[in-house]
Structure 1
């Protein structure tokens, strides 16, 4: 029985150390090297050299392919990083200008109303349905249109939640640094983990009583009312505290040119 062209050393071409297919009836491509069969125990030196050359060529092609893949992956990672930063930035802006706390996930998975709800009109609070539609409208308006298709995904929701949390943390930490001047109290009262419940001035200001727990109604905190006297008709009318708080907020946000009369503050 005749040896296969891929197994016989006699079929190795002397000029390029590759197998010749002329004996088997195949026309070879002058530019493309022919495949070389793996050598056996009795293979000649010429066969081994041809096989090594083939492996080197294949190795070079694999390295080129790997380099191209790495470049593609790097480009994809860079694009994803840019998009992630964009989403985080939008989430921070949303937390500081629209809603401080993350809306329910269903809001992200709801189609934008058509026609859009007028979020500037008090009427959108009239019913729960219109209130939800307004929240969806507000969310879509706060996110770049090219990102709308991603809003339903878990990755987008989680990243948006992270951005909002970062914004809240930054905001509250910043306010803690100026709360002493806002309330005319010692700054140490507002550092992390300070036992504020032990300060009578603070508990009186917010109307806190030990044991209330979750039943505490923040909207009945005396500090929200003039002269610290709770009157639901005058909620948020403690203008001195609110003005100081707003001034501090704008200062923390880096607004330039914003000023408040110091004799008022």
Structure 2
């Protein structure tokens, strides 16, 4: 067993779900704790999900709607813990996470993976949802609380301002002005809410033998799916996949700047790394530079 062991109650629960755990190896401790576990029934991912921004019950519901897609890993079981965290068992996918291999991939491979991501964004967007904003699972399906897409983005940006005051002093006012300038366009882009994977960082995908596989959709919003493509531009910057993910939307650069701000707010709260040196996983370009480049392009649109 790896030195970073799964909690005993997680192992006991996994035993009941997938059989005796024969071996467990730590995969990640960067956010939640994740292990690869081997059992007589095969290999599984065990996760202690203590990131309260994630919505595992929503993710499990959405992944189940995509069960016919071979490029989506399914969640086997969830168990809420007394402290508000969640234990999770999911299918294990063989391959390397995209942050480990995108930068050295051949252009054709990178473009192909980006096409798969674009198709997945569209597939997620076809799942019904009501309301705008961060999605929860209600008795009648997926729903959100805000009345409009720009209203949610404004509320969310205000929350990030409060949580990350150093970043707010650097870029908040300028991004807020852009949000106001794009208000009409944001309303027009999402006349009805559509489901949006709101965290498409490269560690949520594995490049397997048969192509890209989505292993995690931790946060889902209801609004404009191009927000996911805008965020993806940060993670795919400088690769052959970047042009594939560009849409005709004039809002794409705004979405990229908005998500760069959100990631940097997370960095300020949880990482010792200076804001001007933080980069997306798998990308060498600083997030603050990407934010400025996309915000400048949005302002000139």
TM-score, scaled to structure 1: 0.20
Greater RCO, CA 8 A, separation 6+: 2
- The structure in which a higher percent of residues are strand is 2
- The structure in which a higher percent of residues are helix is 1
